[in-house]
Amino acid sequence: MRLKRSLAPLRTEKIMSIHLDADVDSRLLIREEGPLPLPLVSTIALLIDAAVLASTAASIYWNPYFRTLGEDAPPTTLIALLVAISLASVAAFHLAGLYRPNRIRRQGLQALGVLACLGALGTVLHVLSKMLTNPGIETNSWPLAWVLSTTAAIPILRSLWAWQVRQWTAAGRFARRAVVIGLGDASARLIAELTEDKGNDIEILGVFAERDDDLPVSFAGREVLGPISRLPAFVQRQPVDDILVALPWTPGSRLTDAVRLARMLPANVRLFPDLPDLTGGRVGASSFGGVTLFDVARRPLAEWDGVVKRAEDLVIAGLLLIPILPLMALVALVVKLTSPGPVLFRQRRFGFGNRVIRVLKFRTMYVDRGDPSGAARTTRDDPRVTPVGRFLRKTSLDELPQLFNVIRGDMSIVGPRAHAVAMHVGRLLYHEAVDDYIARHRVRPGITGWAQVNGLRGEIDTMEKARKRIEYDLYYIDHWSVALDIKIIVKTVLVLFNDRNAY
């Protein structure tokens, strides 16, 4: 109820008393222009991409080296094709997260994303060009030329733009100037989280106290600028973009007064949730049925993200199965000839929504020593593993049948690893040993994952390793993108040749 009152419409008599205390005329609260808007980075990157995509497609399409235009080729068809190319490419880049300001500065990640998106679009473009042009016009070579030229041109121009963005960032042109209200645990936690994130471009100018008595000189490494009554005068002298209110949500707190005062000033007012055990520092607000609510968790891979993720799984699994089927047949034959028992091993593991799925693997243990429940961990030089099985586990060839799990919809190519239902950490089941364990099951498990490519593969023999894996799994869920999946797949291939933790 107190939170509701703090966000209620302002009352005139309260505002006037605060103005008198602050000794500031609201008509004088005129600030200088702020820094360059951060969305400008994404907008210019989008315009660069659109210009390159359209101009390159047009120049190649009309180039006689790639094709010969007949006099009867309708201009409207060509224009429609070029517009479709540009829009589809920009949409693919957006879905891959290539327009996020922090990623625009990272050329390596951009190059991987651009290559993947344009490769897929080039295939679609080849089909479209056949459908939209006259049968007598040869169009086989220009989609490939377009993919190659844009793959080279876009990263080069993006690199130049990234260099300019870094120059502006170093000069403070994108910095958002903020002040914090509060001298408690919540404000200390807020300042620590903002300081640890080196890519957020937020400059904390100082901290205001909610009370007037016994103020320290500094707090959490920032200057204490005085009591909250001095905030309006400070904003008048020093441009401020964001006022961050970090006060306890408890009776007796001055949260209500702080929010009302801050809302009078020409700045964004943001309320930091004093709920560390529930939000983990991640919270947002949304309108739900006309009511404003705080979001402490969001469903991952919702709406279009889920569609893109599933399409990615089907395309990659389908493309991999074609060349890998002969290898899988050879592995199956070797397993069958070297030890008695079935070729495939089926194990009950946790899947999406904490449901139990049956994961397929090539059998790597002797039949009479295997443990379908997964309660007994596999250790280095485990006597239960066959000689052939040791090689298969070392090279991860035993996991190839999981591609069928991906096609069936039980798993993804990339995601948190599927754990056996009876998996233990010490004497406790995994979900009993680690808080937030079940949160990793909000997405489908993967054949490979963010934890595995960061060295967390193999035996889980300590509580610290268990917690670290869950931390990486939850990071992946919260930061999913097509570009991150591509990065993990590439790192997986590299890890396979230099992994000492697989056994």
The pLDDT value given to residue 249: 80
Q: List for the chain the helix, strand, coil content (%; round to 5).
A: 50, 15, 35
Average pLDDT score over residue span 422-428: 76
Q: How far apart (Å, rounded) are the C-alpha atoms in residues 179 and 231?
A: 9
Q: In 3D, which of 167, 141, 159, 258 has the Cα closest to residue 209?
A: 258
Q: Is the pLDDT of residue 319 over 80?
A: yes
The mean per-residue pLDDT over the stretch 437-458 comes to 87
**What is the reported pLDDT for 179?**
94
Orientation angle between helical segments 387-395 and 304-338, nearest 10 degrees: 160
Tell me the Ramachandran region of residue 172: left when phi exceeds 0, alpha when psi lies from -120 to 50, beta otherwise: left
Of the pLDDT bands very low, low, confident and very high (cuts 50, 70, 90), residue 416 is: very high
Q: Which band of pLDDT confidence, cut at 50, 70 and 90, is reported for residue 424?
A: confident
Condensed to tens digits (0 to 9), the pLDDT of residues 259-283 reads 888 988 888 898 887 766 555 545 6
**pLDDT the model gives residue 488:** 93
Which of 156, 120, 137 is CA-nearest to residue 61? 137
- When the pLDDT of each residue in the chain is averaged and rounded to a whole number, the result is 77
pLDDT band at 381 (very low <50, low <70, confident <90, very high): confident
Q: How confident is the model at residue 208 (pLDDT cuts 50, 70, 90)?
A: very high
pLDDT at 97: 75
The pLDDT, as a whole number, for residue 266 is 84
Its pTM stands at 0.58
Whether the pLDDT of residue 157 is over 90: the answer is: no
- The answer on pLDDT for 370 being more than 80 is no
The answer on pLDDT for 22 being more than 80 is no
Q: Identify the residue with better confidence: 408 or 428.
A: 408
What would the mean pLDDT of 9-24 be, rounded to a whole number?
38
Q: What angle do CA 127, 133, 139 make, to 5 degrees?
A: 60
Quote the tokens at residue 38: 């951060």
Query: Is the pLDDT at 15 greater than 50, yes or no?
Result: no
480: its two tokens: 């999913």
In 171-303, where does DSSP find H-type helix? 185-196, 231-237, 255-263, 276-279
Q: What is residue 53's predicted lDDT score, i.e. its pLDDT?
A: 80
Averaged pLDDT, 115-144: 61
β-pair partners for 285: 294
Whether pLDDT at 448 is above 90: yes
pLDDT in tens, 33-91: 445 566 777 888 888 888 888 787 777 766 666 554 444 445 566 566 667 777 777 88
132 pLDDT above the threshold of 60: no
- Sketch the domain layout of the chain as residue ranges: 39-170, 175-295, 304-496
Q: Of residues 71 and 99, which shows the higher confidence score?
A: 99
* CA dist., res. 377 & res. 397, Å (int): 19
d(CA 110, CA 284): 28
Asked if 402 contacts 420 with a C-beta cutoff of 8 angstroms, the reply is no
CATH superfamily of 175-295: NAD(P)-binding Rossmann-like Domain (3.40.50.720)
pLDDT band at 30 (very low <50, low <70, confident <90, very high): very low
Q: Please report the beta strands in 317-435, taking only residues with DSSP state E, as ranges in sequence order.
A: 344-350, 356-362, 412-414, 424-425, 428-429
**Residue 283: predicted pLDDT:** 64
Task: Check if the beta carbon of residue 497 is closer than 8 Å to that of residue 396.
Answer: no
